[in-house]
A and B are shown apart, each in its own frame.
Chain A
Amino acid sequence: GAGVSQSPSNKVTEKGKDVELRCDPISGHTALYWYRQSLGQGLEFLIYFQGNSAPDKSGLPSDRFSAERTGGSVSTLTIQRTQQEDSAVYLCASSPYPGLLYNEQFFGPGTRLTVL
């Protein structure tokens, strides 16, 4: 079956521009997560959605970062006024049963963001 998909796969932007990254989770998965993978920081949690609400935004690095989820499905991560330190691979994951111990998360291929 279809896995988690993300678009674009690569994004190059200029410092100061806004970018939108999209995630399509596995159909029926209620939980959606965004993570960031960068050279200096490794893999970090950004935000968690249960349905359309985001009960945990603790990993968002600044107010330039925001995310939304609509219809309990597609999610968009928006970075405003991008900075060079935002360059990273942004990973999306989904899972069917959040809060269940040993619950697996299924990851998308990621979006590689480069800020010049």
Chain B
Amino acid sequence: AQSVTQLDSHVSVSEGTPVLLRCNYSSSYSPSLFWYVQHPNKGLQLLLKYTSAATLVKGINGFEAEFKKSETSFHLTKPSAHMSDAAEYFCVVSDGGTASKLTFGTGTRLQVTL
């Protein structure tokens, strides 16, 4: 079975500084990995997904994630945080089976301060 571990439940950064949200995965095969974001009272939105075409994945709103097989990590980064980035971020793995059901990490709440 696959799983993901988000190492920080809460991250606080100042506006304009870099963002790093950490995620480690466990999978017995080549995983399908995603980052989703959930703004308050909004639905989940896909930020980016790992497709094996490239280990560095670019997503929306300036976010990136790097797949590192040797470290079983898929950390999410952004060079400069914006106030609008404040939200809950979920690292997600798909089982890759016919259902493609998703297994979510516990989430990291990103706070951005002035």
Q: Are B103 and A45 in contact (CB under 8 A)?
A: yes
Size of the chain B interface, CB-CB below 8 angstroms: 27
Q: Are A95 and B43 in contact (CB under 8 A)?
A: no
CA distance A4 to B51 in the complex (A): 24
A contact residues around B104 at 8 Å (CB):
35, 42-44
| B interface majority secondary structure | loop
Contact mask for chain B residues 32-70; partner A; CB cutoff 8 A; 1 contact, 0 none: 101010000111111001111000000000000000000
Size of the chain A interface, CB-CB below 8 angstroms: 30
Q: Are A101 and B32 in contact (CB under 8 A)?
A: yes
Contact residues of B with A, CB < 8 Å? 32, 34, 36, 41-46, 49-52, 90, 94, 96-107
Cβ-closest 7 pairs across A and B = A43-B104, A107-B44, A99-B98, A109-B43, A48-B99, A107-B43, A102-B51
Contact residues of A with B, CB < 8 Å? 3-4, 31, 33, 35, 42-45, 48, 50, 55-56, 59, 91, 93, 95, 98-110
